[in-house]
Amino acid sequence: MIIIENLSKSYGGRPALKGVSAQVEQGEFVFLTGPSGAGKSTLLRLLYRAELPDEGRIVVGGTDVGSLRRSEIAFFRRRLGVVFQDFKLLRRRTVVENVTFVLALLNVPERDQRKRAYQVLRQMGLQHRMTAFPDELSGGEQQRVAVARALVLQPDVMLADEPTGNLDPERSHELMELFKTINYQGTTVVFATHDRSLIEAHPARTLTLDRGRLARDGWGGAA
């Protein structure tokens, strides 16, 4: 479960979020939408503790994110799966190395790492590209590698920050189906997008931000 209470954040005096409150239940799929600059990415960055709020409180899976010590941040993030618009893959590592990166840090035996990587990459339809480098993949493939990487630790919560932003409509819908499958398997998904067609095609609870405020909390993409 994600609890967001009266969240505010500003940059150099310019407010990015103002008094946002919401709650996302375990296993729920939630779109986070709004125009550019509405505060979607800021909210997600606060959720995965890349930044601290000026005011308010965030609780993710029982963890008060704002009160995490620096040494606890990594362990917290390992419980989340985060997918970014620009994929954020490690360019000098192969697909399988990207996916197993955190497993290697956890000293998971190499055989188990490869087994788990194969499982998630197969789920993404990328089991044949395990030894490729990110630059050898299409945008859609890179994003699926990023999803595989996010999934490999079987997170309770997936946060996706405009993951379809660099994909064509067909790839976007394919990726959307993947997220829905992940959600059906019990993972909470918060999916930020400004693509209304995506929301209309895959109706779900939608939090709409506008100039840093939560303008709407409802079903589907209706205005």
Partner 1 sequence: MNRHLLREIARQLGESGGAGLVAVLMVLVATVLAGTLLAVRAWIVAELLSSDREATITVTVESPGTATALRGELTSRFPGIAATVMAPAAVRAELASWFPHIAGALSAVSSDSYPTLLVVHVARADEESLTAWLSQRPGVQLAVGSRFWREPLQRVLAGALAGGLALTITLLTGCGIVVLLVVRLMVLGHADEIEIMRLIGARERDIRVPYLVSGATLAGLGSGIGALMLLILSRVPAFGLPLFPLPMETLLVLAATGPLVGLAGALLGLAALPREP
Q: Point out which residues bind partner 1 (CB under 8 A).
A: 48-52, 70-71, 73-75, 77-78, 82, 84, 88-92, 101-102, 104-105, 107, 110, 149-150, 153
The sign of the torsion formed by the CA atoms of 28, 33, 39, 41 equals positive
| Spatial separation of the C-alpha atoms in residues 155 and 37, rounded to whole Å | 28
- For the bound state, the minimum distance from the C-beta of residue 107 to partner 1, rounded and expressed in Å, comes to 5
Strand order in the sheet with 63-64: 14-24, 2-11, 55-60, 63-64
Report the distance separating Cα 63 and Cα 195, nearest Å: 31
Is the Cβ of residue 150 or residue 192 nearer to partner 1 in the bound state? 150
**From the CB of 22, what's the least distance to partner 1, in Å?**
22
Helix (H) or strand (E) holding 33: strand 29-33
CB under 8 Å to 162, separation ≥6 — which residues?
Answer: 40, 41, 84, 85, 192, 193, 194
Cβ of residue 53: shortest distance to partner 1, in angstroms? 10
CB closer to partner 1 out of 77 and 144: 77
Least separation in angstroms between CB 79 and partner 1: 9
Nearer to partner 1, 92 or 115 (CB): 92
In the complex, the smallest distance separating the C-beta of residue 41 from partner 1, rounded to whole angstroms, is 13
Q: Which residues contact 222 (CB under 8 A, 6 or more apart)?
A: none
Rg (CA), the chain: 17
